[in-house]
Amino acid sequence: MYENPRMQPGAPRPLTQSQPNPFEGAFYGAGSGLIRGDLGTYGEKFLGSSSEYVQSNCHWTRITEPVGGRLSYRPPIYDINAPDLYIPFMAFGTYVILAGLLLGLQGRFSPDAVQWLFVKGLLGWSLQVMLLKVTLLSLGGVEPPLLDIVAYAGYTFAGLCLAIMGKIILSYMYFVMMPLACLCMGIFLVKTMKRVLSAEVRSYDSSRLHYLLLFIAFAQFPLFSWLGNISLNWLF
């Protein structure tokens, strides 16, 4: 019914032109501006606009800056690799709560027991800080920020919480979780102290360093055993 006329050979073809879209330029300009402006700014804030972010996150080293003629660590708000006290404080509070719960399940809970567990935890934390501080001072007088040492020592309670939770769930799990927590904490402190020393001290006695790091690692076993023994006695 409808016939499509065929083009005759040699006849000029009609030119077809697309209608210009008045919104195309506006959308393109807005989209490119959004990518270059807002998303670019967000990417710089998230990933960093220089090699400082790549260096600090690939090597897990603290960022230093010259202050008063010597290098000093940048504040934690400007250094993503700076240790913080959030996890240590939360782990310490959880340790006291779990220890009180364990005493309650054993029928030995009392308000004085919670106070004793709090003091015992603080004493163990202080012993860990003293151990790390003395070790660093004996290897060339290294003086890292005190709060950094407190944060490193406070991770002790993260492993203790796991061990106590295992004892609450199944008593035999305590004998598996406790040595594992001691081993993990020992490896963490050895690697951390080596990193601190490599950043602070140019030269030190390597053989003495190895002995002191081994002492730190093995010292975790009696410390964890004392803090993990939930009782109302000073020793065991």
126 pLDDT more than 90? yes
Give pLDDT, residue 43. 44
Give pLDDT, residue 87. 92
143: in domain = yes
Q: What's this model's pTM, rounded to 2 decimal places?
A: 0.70
Q: Which of 153, 155, 160 is nearest to 177 (CA)?
A: 160
48: in domain = no
126: in domain = yes
Give pLDDT, residue 63. 75
> CA gyration radius for the chain?
31
Tell me the residue length of the chain: 236
Domain that holds residue 174: 85-228
Q: What is the pLDDT of residues 165-182, one digit of tens each?
A: 999 998 889 999 999 999
pLDDT-based confidence at 21, cuts 50/70/90?
Answer: low
134 pLDDT more than 70? yes
150: in domain = yes
Write out the two tokens for 110: 């009392």
**Angular region, 92: left φ>0, alpha ψ -120 to 50, beta rest:** alpha
Q: How far apart are the first and last CA of the chain?
A: 105
164 pLDDT more than 90? yes
73: in domain = no
How much is the mean pLDDT over the chain? Answer: 76
141 pLDDT more than 50? yes
Q: Return the higher-pLDDT residue of 22 and 228.
A: 228
Mean of pLDDT values over 130-138: 87
29: in domain = no
54: in domain = no
Give pLDDT, residue 152. 93
215: in domain = yes
Q: Return the higher-pLDDT residue of 32 and 135.
A: 135
Q: What domain count does the chain have?
A: 1
Q: What is the pLDDT of residues 100-112, one digit of tens each?
A: 999 999 888 888 8
Give pLDDT, residue 59. 56
Which residues, in sequence order, are CB contacts of 124 under 8 Å at separation 6+? 156, 223, 226, 227
Q: What is the pLDDT of residues 199-235, one digit of tens each?
A: 665 556 677 888 888 999 999 999 999 999 888 776 6
